[in-house]
């Protein structure tokens, strides 16, 4: 009998934010998939699991390039899918771990799609996790949205030309992975509307910090695990 494949969100970095269900599944699986890119020397998701779950695993390291080359990306998803399928067919349960939530900008989605298309008989389950989108506003104790306010979440590839329209429509905008674009974002926002801005860096880790003056960080080297929350000031709504 084939094993079961799990996609597990391990939260933003704090092992205490790992859900009870994720802990239960991770305590029982045989194989742990560790997604890595060249950007990561060590897996952030694995560091969370190792702090929270006292268990030894068989590791299956999956390489995913940080690239916009669609052919290269699809090759990596196919290769990873084949590796996972081989483990499942032997009867072992496999968990793919990802920082945050597996349904939000995670490579897990591509891997799940491959398995469902090419191995439809395999059993899969997705276990949600706490996302930085909610962990960061909790850390700074600032509600994302209230009442009938509208929320947008924008990935790192956002176009500044589109951002004005988004800011016009939505009351709160979460901008993901802003580390390399902080300068142009702050310059843009300086001339656009009446906003409060919050920058949160490595939320859930011991060196986490936040500021409502992101312009003070422009000359610092910032980790890619950073986001910015842009909110219309209430008096301007």
Contact status, residue 45 vs residue 34, Cβ threshold 8 Å: yes
Q: Which residues contact 228 (CB under 8 A, 6 or more apart)?
A: 174, 175, 178, 182, 185, 197, 198, 199, 200, 214
Considering only 14-18, 53-57, 200-204, 215-219, which range has the smallest mean pLDDT? Answer: 215-219
Considering only 88-102, 105-119, 149-163, 205-219, which range has the smallest mean pLDDT? Answer: 149-163
- Judge whether residue 103 has pLDDT over 90: yes
pLDDT at 40: 53
The domain 4-127 belongs to what CATH superfamily? Answer: Tetrapyrrole methylase, N-terminal domain (3.40.1010.10)
The domain 132-236 belongs to what CATH superfamily? Answer: Tetrapyrrole methylase, C-terminal domain (3.30.950.10)
Looking at mean pLDDT, say which of 119-123, 160-164, 217-221 comes out highest.
Answer: 119-123
pLDDT at 188: 84
Mean pLDDT (whole number) for 11-29: 97
- Judge whether residue 10 has pLDDT over 80: yes
pLDDT at 29: 96
Q: What share of the chain is helix, strand, coil (3-state, %, to 5)?
A: 40, 25, 40
Query: What pTM does this model have?
Result: 0.89
What does residue 192 show for φ and ψ, rounded to 5 degrees? -130, 100
What are the residue boundaries of the structural domains of the chain, listed by start? 4-127, 132-236
Mean pLDDT (whole number) for 231-236: 76
pLDDT at 71: 85
Count of positions (residues) in the chain: 237
Mean pLDDT (whole number) for 138-148: 96
Question: In this structure, what DSSP letter does residue 4 have?
Answer: E
User: pLDDT tens for residues 192-222?
Assistant: 778 999 999 999 999 999 999 999 898 888 8
Residues above pLDDT 90, as percent of the chain: 66
């Amino acid at each position: 009998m084939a094993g079961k494949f799990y996609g597990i969100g391990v939260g933003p970095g704090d092992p205490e934010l790992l859900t009870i269900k994720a802990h239960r599944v991770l305590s029982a699986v045989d194989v742990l998939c560790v997604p890595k890119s060249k950007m990561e020397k060590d897996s952030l998701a694995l560091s969370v699991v190792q702090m929270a779950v006292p268990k030894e695993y068989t590791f299956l390291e999956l390489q995913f390039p940080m690239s916009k080359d669609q052919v290269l990306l699809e090759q990596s998803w196919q290769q990873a899918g084949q590796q996972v399928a081989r483990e499942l067919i032997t009867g072992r349960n496999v968990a793919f771990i990802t920082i945050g939530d597996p349904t939000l900008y995670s490579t897990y989605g591509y891997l799940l799609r491959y398995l469902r298309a090419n191995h439809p008989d395999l059993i899969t389950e997705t276990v949600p996790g706490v996302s930085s989108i909610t962990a960061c506003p909790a850390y700074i104790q600032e509600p994302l949205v209230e009442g009938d306010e509208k929320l947008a979440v924008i990935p790192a590839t956002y176009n500044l030309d589109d951002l004005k329209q988004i800011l016009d429509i939505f009351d709160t905008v979460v901008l993901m992975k802003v580390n390399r674009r902080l300068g142009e974002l702050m310059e843009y926002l300086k001339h656009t509307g009446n906003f409060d801005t919050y920058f949160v860096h490595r939320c859930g880790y011991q060196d986490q910090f936040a500021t409502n003056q992101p312009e003070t960080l422009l000359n610092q080297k910032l980790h890619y695990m950073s986001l910015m929350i842009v909110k219309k000031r209430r008096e301007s709504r």
